[in-house]
Structure formats: C-alpha cells, structure tokens
Structure 1
C-alpha cells in the first residue's frame, strides 16, 4: 500500500493517541488529525482507579506531554465528538459541523460503562468510573466515612472498593456471582474475597439488584432481589463496559459477535483503508485462531502503536497476548494470556494463603495464562511460557526452573 497523505483518528484515548505518536516516531510526514470527545488531553485509564481514586495524585498518566502534539504537527481536536463516518466519501463529520476527509481512518472510540436496567440508577450519588472527571468526583464522594455500595465485583469494582476503604468508607460489595473476580475461577476468587474481607469489606453475593432507592436529594439505598435493602450514601455501578461502536455500526462496518468492530489480524476492517484498535477491535488473532476483544490498558497502547505502521502502508499482524495488572491494598499482580477456568487446570506455585504465588492455567500441556501475585522476579519467564509452544507439566510449573521451561 502507498503512504496516505491524511490520516484521521477518531478517539483520543490511549489507542488513538499512541497511534498518532507512533506515526510521527515512525517517520510519517502527512497530516494527522485526532478527534477526541473529552476536553482533557489523552490520558491512560489505569491510574483513575488506582492513584487518583486513592488520592495519590489529581492527574492521570498523560499519554504524552501537553505540547507534544503541536510540536509533532498532530492536530489534536479535544472536545470534538465525531458524529458520522461516510465511507464512500471518505470523510468524518463532527458535532461542531466540521468535515475531516481522510485517506486512511482509525477508529479508536473505546468503551463506556454499562448500566443497570433498574429504577434509581440516575439518582444523585450513583456513579460510574471511566473518565478523569468520574474518578475525581467519586474520590470526593468517598471522603467523610460514607456508606458505599459497589455493584459489581470485577476489576474496577474491587479496585474502587479498596480505594473507598482507604478513605474510611463503609463498603459493601454486591454481585450475582458467587465471588469477586469470578472470571479467574473459585480458588483465585477466594484470594481476593479474603483480602477485601480482612480490610473490612462486606459482601452480598449471589444476589441481583432490583432498585436503587432515594429521591431528588440523593441515593438512600440499594434493594436486592430478596427484598432486603442496603443503606447507601454512595453507589458505584461497576458492571463492566461496552465498546462504543455506534459510529462504526451507523457507517455500515461489520460488527463481531464479541461486540466490537470486526478486524483482521492487521487491525483492518472490511472497508477500504479503515482500521480499528483498542477496546472496540474484535481482532482475528493469529495466536488463538479466533476473534478476541480485549479492554485492558496494554492492548490499547500496543495496538495503537502497532496499527500506526499499517496506517502508513504496512500490513503487519498484531500477535501480542493480552496483559493487565491490578493493585489492591498490599496486593499487586500481573496477568498474561487468556484462561478458561472451566476448561483449564489451575496450577499454583507458592502460597495462596500468604498471597505470594504464581497461578498457571494449563491446557493440553501448554500454559494458556499466568498470573503472578506479589512475586516479581519471573515476568520474562511467564511471558515466554504464555507466548511459547513449550509443553510442560503441572509439577514442572510448581517446582521447576521457570526460565528453563519457556
């Protein structure tokens, strides 16, 4: 493919901003326009539920310094929402009436929080967490020892619960699932359940929500499916995120069963010269032989950087395995790969009770995923085991030299 003269990027989050920066760093000399709905410059999301919510800083990690974009001739249009993509005309329209012709287009519109189809979720005192402004507002709400109910026990919910306890809030977590982070299976879920219990979090698990109660003055409580009500001054709805694909769908792009925009291994859609990266990209992944869609920080950053070369004319496949991390109280962990706890054998190296261990998920003699908890010496070895094709046994993972196995 020849090099385009003008590249438009819709979405000024980590994926879009990383792509714009990588275009310049790779030597691309054409026009680069980035449209972002938020007024803030591009920033990374993980610090919102960590250092910002904990009060360790008022700013996230900016993708680049504020003056980087102008210095590198990147036309960053903050506070500008794209409203329409006309594939035939090769133009993006924005809410201010602007028209942005493109030779190549990257959609990196990210995700938005899911909500609950129950009465009261729009009351004052009910929050979601996705943006910097969300994090600052929620942090303020956590002060003064309020009664906090967190609906949802995934990564955002558990990190936010830890932050709320840090601020002295009374915290109850609610979920229809049997335990927090159930996606990791019951054994690892129990590690996180015990961690939060030791820090004073209460649980209402296996229970649905029927209503958030209160009035114009604010939230008063959360009513559960069994009829009981949890009193609350603050409610955080943390029941996952959904990809922002309305723009792509309206343009006629193919959507995948995984909920995102269907792209091939090089992150290219079926439409000529249109790509997608980050949360919305349902990529055909050559390592897994199927489509996957990943909503984590590393995926947005790495896909954004990778797709830049393809926007400029390359055709390289994206082959990285998923990676994410979390910090909760005194627990830190990293996770690599994609496990299916219902199919894979869990192998633990270390001590679950002391929360110093590495968990492996093993299928047909190969490691599908690895998670190190409060153990930091084996990162490269774990990556090699997840990325490689070496055949290993459970005993080797428990007792062997991990570096030699990969």
Structure 2
C-alpha cells in the first residue's frame, strides 16, 4: 500500500478527452485530413495543421491539431494522436494490426466544458455510422451503439473488470424492463448532448439477464442495476466521492423519448472529479506544451515569454560569473601575500570565502608551507654549554 499523500490528478473541468480505435478499409489519417479540411472550407473550424516530428512528438506518431470557437468567443484547442505502431514481432504487433489504429483525442476550452458543445470527435472524424472510428478501447465494444451484454457470468465479470480499467469512456449499464420496440432498441447516444455521445459506451441487458448481471455487478462493484433502470460504472480506482446512488436511475423509458433523468446523471458524472486515465496526463501535457497551431498574437506572446526567460537565465549566469571572479581575485591576493611573507600568515589578509574551492586550495598551500619553515632556535636559557660537557667527560672527572 502506498504511503504517498499526493492526491492522484483528476480531469480538469476545461478538458474533454476520449480514446478509441479506427477499424476500416480506409486509411485513418487520410480520413482525418479530409474531415478537417472539409470543416475548414465550411468555416466550422478556424484552422488545423499536422505538426512534423521535429516539433516535439515521438517518432512514428501522427498528430493533428485543430482549433475552433464555441458560443462565438470561447476557443477550443484539440489534439488527435495516432500512437506509433508497435515494431514487427513485438507482443502487441499482431493484435493492434488486427484491431485497427488506436487514436487519442484531448481538447481543452478556455472555460469549463459544456456537454452541449459540439463533440471534438466529430471535428476530426465524420459522423457516418460506418466511418469505423468509434470502436471503444475495450475490445468488442462500440461507442454510439448498443452493446448487448454476454450471457455467461464469467464473461460478464471479465467485461465489467475491463470497463473499470477504461477511464477514457463512460460505461453505462441499462436494463430493459421489457423487450423494447424498434424505437427502444436504438442507441441512447442519439438522445444525449453532443459532447457525451462519443464517450458513452451503452451496455444493454435483456429482461431475463437481470439476475446474472446483478450477480456480476455485486462481485465487481458491490452494487446492482435497478430493474428497468441504469447505472454508471465507476473506474478502478473509483473517483473521489463516487456514490452509486448519485449515478443511477430507477427507470429508463426505452420508447424513443428523451431520457431526461439519465441525461442529468451522465452530465453530472462527466463534470465530477474523475481521475485522469492511464496515459491521460501525458496526452494533456502534450496538448499544452507541444501545441503548434498558434495565431500571430500567440506566437508573439510566446516569443516574449522566451525572451524574458532567456533574460532571467542570462542575469543569473552573470551573477554567478561575478561571484566566481570575486572568489578568484581574493584567492589570488591571499596566495600572493603568502608568497611575499615567505609562508607566514599576513595579518589582515582576507581568506577566500568559506567552503569555496579557493579556500581549500589556500588551506593546502598553507599546510605545505608549514613544513618548509626553518626550525625556531632555542632560547638562551635552554642552550647547552660545551665546556660543561667537556667537564663531564671521562677525562675531566
């Protein structure tokens, strides 16, 4: 158990993030390029670009940046990344190629994110149902679609365990009180606010699955889904303050009408203090620190910040140089005084600063000169009279 008191980072309220896989016959990067250019031509977004590798991101990554405005004045910056493909022969090479191209998308606004704003996913990806980009991080699941729950209890537990590890998506379990008609079988994503549609993974349980689903939920999360209701699954570890009663709905009417209570629960969950998922902190840092798509005003402000930073560094270097120069001058003065005095310490000569290299050198020189000093002659009272020595000789006795 960790003894660290540092709280894990949470998703900022200004940030929207998602992750998925593109599975399709078309090249994923080509699909994104065409979509961005299409929206720029229609003036839906302000601009977009594809930074080169020498602008900060890892070799092999593909990066796309786009910026647009919501509500006329609020600027949104977004960064879509295709991580580098694994090396041939590595353990992850075969599954990745078979399951499509992974993508990570992070967007940040100038103020708290509003779920009614356009989804950043549909800025980079077309909204076509067969576009192939809306496969969830958990294999076998789709965003914007109904995902039937498996019938086997062991498969249910394995699925829920995988969903708890996926902090990029919002996993919702819905139980059908009775078999719905054609309208009720449609995904609930189409009835959600725009910014939630591409992040919610809807798991649907049939009327006769309630017992097995609740058995698996009890063992994985220690709660159940209400009959005919819905519950938002927590991540692992759970977000601070998560309470299942706050993120569950007693009844969901699958008749094509707007699920007002469910929408409110999902919006509150999306706005709650949720932990950043694995890899989320790195993606957010890259958005903030490696951003390349700047306006002229932003580039000028950045250059001014760089000039100020360089000026501070130069000032610090100048002060350090002056201190070293002063120490060197004082050490040279002390050494010259030592040489002139023939090794004796000159009163009033200031030693170099304590603890400096020059003081250590001065100390070594002083110790060395002590050994070279002439022996001090004995005092008069201590001198030996040679005549007395003679008197004490055997011949003089």
TM-score range, shorter chain: under 0.3
TM-score (norm. length: structure 1):
0.20
TM-score (norm. length: structure 2):
0.21
Pair member with larger Rg = 2
Structure 1 or 2: larger helix share? 2
Structure 1 or 2: larger strand share? 1
